[in-house]
Amino acid sequence: MFCKLALRNVTRSLKDYAVYFLTLTFGVCIFYIFNSLESQWCMQMLAQSAHYIVDTILILMDVFSVFVSVVLACLVLYANTFLMKRRKRELATYFLLGLPTVKVSLLLVLETLVIGLLSLGAGLLLGVLLSHGLGLLTMSMFAFYPAGESFGLILSGKTIVKTVLYFGVIFLVVVLFTGLSVSRARLIDLIQGGRKNEELREPPLWQSVLTFLLGVALLLIAYTMLLVRGLLYIDPLFFLMLALGTLGTLLFFRSLSGFLLRLVKVRKGLYYKGLNMFVLRQFNSRIHTTYVSMTVICLLLLLAIGVTACCVGLNHTIGATTDASAPYDFTIQNYSGDVSPTDIPALLTENGFDAETELTATRSCDLYYNDAGITVPGQGSSDVVISLTDYNALMALQGRAGLSEESLPQLGTATLVTGFSGVGAYLVVDDATAATLSVRRQIFVGNFAGDPQTAETALTAAVQSQGFAQTGSYRLDTRLQIYLENMGTKILVLFMGLYLGLVFLVTAAAVLALQQLSQAADDQKRYAVLARLGAPEGMRDRAVFTQVFLSFFLPLALAAVHSVVGMTAANAVISVVGQVDSVQSSLVTAALLFVIYGAYFLATYFGARTVVRGNGLRTR
Amino acid sequence: MEPILTVSHLQKVYGGKGSRTQALSDLSFTVEEGEFTGIMGASGSGKTTLLNCISTIDRPTGGSITVEGTDLTALRGKALSRFRRERLGFIFQDCNLLDTLTGFENMALSLTILGVSPRVIEGRVRETAGLLGLEGVLDKYPYQMSGGEQQRVAAARAILTRPALVLADEPTGALDSKAAGQLLRQLSALNREEGTTILMVTHDAFTASWCRRILFIKDGVLYRELRRGELDRKAFFAQILGVVSMLGGDSADVL
């Protein structure tokens, strides 16, 4: 009987529950995608190309992951509080019928459970499907990746368990919260729930000003800490900085509406114009419940802007550096060239790779130890030496200018080999001097004559054969391999950044949209009064627009300021790898933000307008 | 002198072919400037329909309504809402104050919607608030006011725009007798001292006794008309009660 009532309640108030249900499903879905991405796709990438950026990204991802779950918990609680508010009358009826508090609590707990299970199921399903889709997309980008195994398409049991666990805790909190709020509710408040407004205390001016100043001061402290300390040190101070920033944002939004109201009130021409007074009062009356969500939305937007901008910029940098580190199709290095020098081309031919026909523009060179302790006055010295003939030959292969005899000895820094050389600066000396030094390492560079893909496979097979393994310690780097490695990092960074950024952006926008639409439902009555007072439709539409606009663009404005500071700090981190192309990345981010956020804004405005218009003049 | 409101041969039929409900059959009357007129009738007599038609919320099926020489049935769309905004004032049973605005702002809103110059708004609101004894609630929110205060703020809001006609629909319906008395005393004072023309719909004889003239509607037609003249309120009240007792049906219907 009791379960039946709970079930019927859920189906009956489906419209009310829709907001709640969507929020939960969306949350579960995001959480699953996010965590399954971390546990399956990224780990595989990490194993494939051990690039040190990935480590940093994984640390950041862990921080984000915790942050995301906290944000989701707040979201669910918020949605639940909203739902409870809408059902006050219904609860009052139960109490009036004589249902004891425990039973009412139990009823609500059952309802929460039903909705929770439903949304958990739906969210996981959606999450698995979407992460599937993302996996396929990634695979198509990696079609040429030289790895036999497939990406994605794995149902991550670990992630499902993790999701269920996390959301189980969140539901538990919600259930406790619901039970508590019911047991503390007073019947008179519930009955008048529809009529009574939120607390409308107008705080004294000095209080608004003080809160505002405190918020700004906290933000400035957090900014300074971020700029001075940088982004990379994740220690207690880092979290203190996050806390200060969050608190500052919170206080800023808490005091903003009161501040704004005071400011406009002084300017009577503006205050007493059209529905300005009404809009401002609406905004102010809501701030007590909306400032928390505004803060969350602002921080989400900050993440979206920051992550997207940094990753797009970083991606650009990586793309530009690909060619610089691979001047020839391949390089073979013999590390044991000092003790057992070999003829690498001959060895290749012996082991099944015809170096004569398959390769063009080859060159064998030696690198020498600096036995003589040669130094270049004013430039310094190096442990690695190369002869002028070899140097000029390598430069000619790269299509660059060589050196002349007169300028020797000289310290050089131009890339000599494809791939990893372990050589920074080196000395270029004349051939006679070089002949007196002992050989350190042999290198053999060249380009493929035919199809690079097949040639590379054959070359790799030859270098890995017994003939090579028995004669020394060799290293093979090919342009294709470096390209793919860079490509992998590039796609990883871009994908992660865009993915995270978009998820945060969509979450923020969706929350705002839900909030505004539900508020519009509350506003319906007020707009009906305005209509009866004779406010023309255009005037009312403008008021709706201003309301939606304020709630969408105030958080965006502060998030933009945050992200300018944040990106300055992020630049310092990324400049280890390369400079973020700030103009381009800012443009890309702005475009993405504009399209998604703008679309949500417009959809919300039109939705809210329809809701508000719904109760026109005729209904009384 | 031209009457403020002329209702002639007003008809209103609800429903389609299957179930026709004749709410108003053939109703004609006029209201002169400065009158405080009451409209009484039993439930279902058509008094709310009449008020809806005059307030342009509903459209009559036949006849005409003229306010200050403007035929309301000829007005459409923007002209109609403009007319409603500028020439009519409303007081409803549920006072319809905006709960996020203070008393002062609730009153000022009707002026800002009209586009009245911001410089004169404060003065006019304070003046009207003084007339209705609302100085104490200007900075209060609706939920901090009593029911009577809320209704008086609504009344102030209705007369602030200086409308040709104030329409009141059961203004005392949600008030206790003391608050109702206070509101009516003030409405009547407004009528006497400021010359505000008020048309009030009520089913309560006590409320109606504050009017100068009462129209009784029965089954969609004008049934009786009473004028207070020189009578005191007590005598007028007794007279009203007499008519009201006949409204549900007279002795001819018994047996």
> Nearest CA to CA, how far is A264 from chain B (Å)?
13
Model confidence pLDDT, tens digit, residues B180-232: 888 888 888 888 888 889 999 988 888 888 888 999 888 888 888 888 888 88
pLDDT at residue A213 tops 80: yes
Helical spans, DSSP H, in A322-471? 344-350, 355-358, 388-398, 431-435, 452-463, 466-471
More confident residue, B250 or A298: A298
The arithmetic mean of pLDDT across residues B43-72, rounded, is 84
The pairing of strands B88-91 and A474-478 is: unpaired
State mean pLDDT over A133-157. Answer: 55
Cα A16 off chain centre by: 32
Tell me whether residues B101 and A281 touch, CB distance under 8 A.
yes
Kindly identify which residue of chain A lies nearest to residue B96, measuring between CA atoms: A529
* ipTM given for this complex: 0.82
Position B11 scores a pLDDT of 86
Q: Is B201 on the interface with A (CB under 8 A)?
A: no
Question: CB within 8 A of A394, min separation 6: which ones?
Answer: A363, A365, A416, A445
pLDDT of residue A484: 66
Backbone φ and ψ of A146, nearest 5°: -80, 50
pLDDT of residue A512 exceeding 70, the answer is yes
Give the nearest chain A residue to B90 (CA atoms).
A533
Contact between A27 and A123 (Cβ < 8 Å): yes
Closest by alpha carbon to A64, among A428, A401, A499, A403?
A499
- DSSP, collapsed to helix, strand or coil, labels residue A445 as strand
Each residue's pLDDT tens digit, A446-456: 888 877 777 87
Q: How many whole angstroms separate alpha carbon A244 and alpha carbon A217?
A: 10
Residue A199 has pLDDT above 90, yes or no: no
Those residues whose C-beta lies under 8 Å from the C-beta of residue A470, and which sit 6 or more positions away, are none
Residue given tokens 């709020």 in the structure block: A181
Does the pLDDT at position A463 exceed 80?
yes
Percent of chain A with pLDDT over 90: 1
- Top residue of B113, B143, B150, B201 to mutate, by most chain A CBs within 10 Å, is B113
- Residue A545 pLDDT grade (very low, low, confident, very high; cuts 50, 70, 90): very high
- Between A376 and B7, the more confident residue is B7
Which one-letter amino acid corresponds to residue A69?
A: S
For chain A positions 244-283, those within 8 Å of chain B (CB to CB) are: 268-269, 271-278, 281-282
As to burial, measured by CB atoms within 10 angstroms (0-12 exposed, 13-18 middle, 19+ buried), residue A270 is middle
- Beta-bridge partners for B71: B66
Burial of A596: CB neighbours in 10 Å, binned 0-12, 13-18, 19+: middle
Q: Which 3 state secondary structure label does DSSP give A186?
A: coil
A201 contact B CB<8A? no
- pLDDT above 70: residue A201: no
- From the CB of residue A187, how many other CB atoms can be counted at a distance below 10 Å? 11
pLDDT at residue A582 above 50? yes
Per-residue pLDDT band at A134 (split at 50, 70, 90): low
Lowest mean pLDDT across A189-203, A220-234, A552-566: A189-203
Q: Does the pLDDT of residue B142 top 80, yes or no? A: yes
Q: Name the CATH superfamily for B5-253.
A: P-loop containing nucleotide triphosphate hydrolases (3.40.50.300)
Distance separating alpha carbons of residues A262 and B125, to the nearest angstrom = 20
* A128-149 average pLDDT score: 59
**Closest-CA residue in chain A for B79?**
A536
pLDDT, residue A408, reads 76
Which residues between 15 and 54 in chain B have a beta carbon less than 8 angstroms from any beta carbon of chain A?
Answer: none
Question: Would you say residue A288 has pLDDT above 80?
Answer: no
The pLDDT value given to residue A256 = 83
Residues of A380-413 as b/e, b for ≥16 C-beta within 10 angstroms? eebebbbbbebbbbbbebeeeeeeeeeebbebbe
Most confident range, picked from A104-113, A475-484, B26-35: B26-35
Residue partners of A67: CB distance under 8 A and separation at least 6: A303
Cβ pair A193, A88 in contact under 8 A: yes
CA A213 – CA A206 distance, rounded (Å): 10
Q: How far apart are CA A169 and CA B165, in angstroms?
A: 62
- Between helix A205-229 and helix A236-266 the angle, nearest 10°, is 140
Interface contact flag, A532 B115, Cβ < 8 Å: no
**Average of pLDDT values for A220-234?**
78
Tokens found for residue A371: 């036995």
The reported pLDDT for the residue numbered A60 is 62
Residue pairs spanning A and B at CB distance below 8 A: 83
pLDDT digits (tens, 9 = 90+) for A49-83: 444 555 665 666 666 667 667 767 776 776 677 66
Chain B closest CA to A535's CA: distance in Å? 6
Q: What is the pLDDT, as a whole number, of residue A549? A: 92
Q: d(Cα A466, Cα A492) in Å, to the nearest integer?
A: 36
The 8-class DSSP code of residue A616 comes to -
Query: Over the stretch A326-335, which tens digit does the pLDDT of each residue have?
Result: 778 888 888 8
A269-278, A304-313, B113-122: range with lowest mean pLDDT: A304-313
What is the band of A318 on the pLDDT scale with cuts at 50, 70, 90? low
Residue A224 has pLDDT above 80, yes or no: yes
Alpha-carbon distances of A550 from A282, A392, B132, rounded to whole Å = 11, 66, 37
Touching check for B108 and chain A: CB below 8 Å? yes
Count CB atoms within 10 A of the CB of residue B117. Answer: 10
In this predicted structure, the answer to whether residue A197 has a pLDDT above a threshold of 60 is: no
Confidence at residue A203, expressed as pLDDT on a 0 to 100 scale: 64
Distance CA(A510)–CA(A394), nearest Å, equals 58
With a cut of 70, say whether residue A187 has pLDDT above it: no
**Which residue among A285, A533, A620 places its CB closest to the CB of B113?**
A533
pLDDT value at B162 more than 50: yes
Q: Is A535 on the interface with B (CB under 8 A)?
A: yes
Give Cβ neighbours of residue A351 (< 8 Å, ≥ 6 apart): A462, A465, A466, A467, A468
Res. A130 pLDDT band, cuts 50 70 90:
confident
Instruction: Give the residue among B228, B98, B233 at the shortest CA–CA distance from A195.
Output: B98
Of A316 and B170, the one with more pLDDT: B170
Q: Which residues of A509-531 are buried (b: 16+ CB within 10 A; e: fewer)?
A: bbbbbbbbbbbbbbbbebbbbbb
Residue A544 has what pLDDT? 92
Domain ranges of chain B: 5-253
pLDDT for res A192? 58
Q: Residue A147's pLDDT is what? A: 45
pLDDT digits (tens, 9 = 90+) for A372-399: 788 887 777 888 888 888 888 888 888 8
Cis peptide leading into residue A377 (ω within 30°): no
R_g of chain B computed on alpha carbons = 19
The two structure tokens encoding residue B39: 């409209």
Query: How far is the C-alpha of A452 from the C-alpha of B6, rounded, in Å?
Result: 97
**Predicted pLDDT at A516:** 83
